[in-house]
Structure formats: C-alpha cells, structure tokens
Structure 1
Amino acid sequence: MNKLNIVDWAKELHALAETGLFFTKDVFDKERFERIKQISFEMLAQVAEEPVDKIAELYLEEKGYQTPKVDTRAIVWRGDKLLLVQENDGLWVLPGGWMDVTQTISSNIRKEVFEEAGMEVEVGRLVAIHDRNIHNPGLNPFTILKIFVECQYVSGMFRPNSETVASGFFAEDEIPPLMERKTSTEQVRLAFEAKKQGEKWQPIFD
C-alpha cells in the first residue's frame, strides 16, 4: 500500500475530526470525533515509525478547521549565482521558513533572508508552489505548501545566527550537498530553469 495514500487518509481523518469537534455540541459526537482523531494519529505513527504520542504532540495546536502550513523560500540571485544558506547539520537550503501569521509572502521572504543570510533583497516574481510531500523526500504529517519567490540581492553579508552557519552564491554546476527535505535538487534546478526562461516562465503549482 502506498504510504503517501495512508498519510493523505490520516490527514483527512484528522481534519474531519477537528472540524467536527469545533462545530458539534453533542457530547457523544465529540467522543466519536476524538476517536477518529486518535485513529489518524495511529496511522501517521505507523507510517512515520514514531510513537503515537509524538505525532499527537505535533498536532497539539492544530485545532479547528484544518488548513495547510506555508513555507516560503527565496530564490535570490546575484548575477547568475543562487544564494544558499548552510544549516547546523552542514547541509544547504534556499533561505526561508514558516510564514508567520503577521506577515505577507513578500515580507516573510525578506525577513527570512535577512535573518538567515544577513542580506536585503528585492522581491520579484512567483516561481512555483510545491506540495512538500510530492516534491521533497520523507513524509510529513502536515500538508505543507512551499512557495518559491525570485529575488535580487541588494546589499548585506552573512552574519552568525541561531539557524545558519554560512551562506554563499553558487553557479548551477557548483551546488553543495542539499537538505533535500527542505530544498530538493529538483527545486534548485527549477530555480535555474526559471531564470533561463526569463519572462517566458509560467509559475507552476502542485
């Protein structure tokens, strides 16, 4: 059986359970929805090979109507070279992260680049929106939309911080080892392809 199908079913069950718990006033329906939610955790735990209570903890704050999480990633150019930042594990990613509820896509992109690379950027066009579980390895219990936005380097330089240990601009044939769960080889190639096509590029999604 396809593990991705199981994850999708489990997430749908969880979403239905949380929506039901949010709207119902009936005590018996609440018991049923709680059991459905627990089943979804058990399914996810089996696929992820993690304890059920750890999966439940991940979903602790996911109450009410369920919606995807948003991860914004900056495709920053300086000339023909692409900005990557190195995380504490030694692997490299496009700068970015979870979108804060107080931010827009553009402001979150600028914030993440400044925090992780110490650089100011000019935000440009949308390149792609990816479903994380389709385009990145390893199954995540959440539905995550990864939004890739092209930017141009303006100023600044790397400074030490709690999230990254280095940054650099890389040509297409110089890409260092990537943290594929956050930035896949496919996504880096996509960035370079969008740049090559210029105005002809059409944003892709799913």
Structure 2
Amino acid sequence: MSAQQPDAPSSASPRALHVEHEEAVRTSGSKPSCAGISCQEGLGWVLVSHAQLQWLQHSSSKATDGDPHLTSSAEEGELAAIMADLGKVESIVGPFLRTGLKTSWLRKTERGRTLTEAVRLHMAPGLGRDFRLEIRIGFCAGQMVSQLISTGDCLRDILGDYLYAATEASEVKPSVRLTWIAMDCKLDLMLGFKEG
C-alpha cells in the first residue's frame, strides 16, 4: 500500500530535513559525512535533540498533590494521567493502534517497561464534558491513519470497538485529530464522559 507523505510542518522537522538530505545524497551520488560523524549518527543526534527539546518545552507541567502519575497543564488547566499501564491500554485499543503504539519512537525508548508515557488520559474539565485520550503511534502508522480518516474509512477497525463507541459519544466533532511530533504521530481522541 502506498502512503502519501503528510504536509510538512510549518517549521522544518527533523524528518523533513532527513528527507531533503536523502534526496541530496541520491542526486549527488556521494556519501557525505559531517566532521567524521556518519550521516546516520548525525541524523540520530538531531532527532534525539529535537525530541528532547520538545519534551523540555512541554514539561512545564508540574506534579499535582505529590502524585507522580498526575500532571496539571498550566496552559490547559486539565489533569492528565502520565503513566499508563500498557496491559490495560492494549485491552481497549484495536490491533492497529496496538501495533502503531509499539512502533512509536517514544515507546521504543521505554524498552521493557510496563508503564508508558505514550498514552495519556486527560481528565474531563467538568461533569458531563469529554475526556481526551492521547496516543503516540509510529510515523508510518500515523500516515495510514491520516489517509483513512480523511476518507472516513475503517475508523472502527483503527480504534477498536470500545474507543470507536467512545469517540462517537463525544460532544466534540471531529473527535479524532492527528498531530505530527518528531518521529511519531500523536492521535488525540475525544471520548464521551461516560466512556472516558
């Protein structure tokens, strides 16, 4: 199945820079290196640095009431569980999202851990309001989800029965949104209050 590249973010992302670099290498026929560092090592450094910078920019959140599993976002004023149990997560997401989660760069950095930061449930801001579930999936899985969402096909197959029903119960439409982050894709799902 051929997947189209998503539109490049407004600022040059490491992946976009890598694609441009790969094209330059192909057209020149040479194998450049940067001061004795191979291009692969250089790219790895850039990607890790970019991800760390994003983490630092978003880590202005502070722990709430001494519970390391909850964070309060200053800009949104919402509570979020920051460490999800992978066993519980895998029981509610469909097989496609399970695979996408496992292939995410963030999840790969958590090798062997049963708790993951790749899934966050943001609490409803009030009674009867929607919860927001944030799932980080791999770049390729994100491309496929993007194509399928834009055509309106297979959303139940992507999300799984439970999450599909929860997004259908959401007050907010569209209840599924994708954001490209470094080497991953963040899938935001708005879940109805009862299901969340």
* TM-score (normalizing by structure 1): 0.31
Higher strand fraction: Structure 1 or Structure 2? 1
Structure 1 or 2, whichever has the larger Rg, is 1
* TM-score (normalizing by structure 2): 0.32
Which of the pair has the greater relative contact order for Cα pairs under 8 Å at 6+ separation?
1
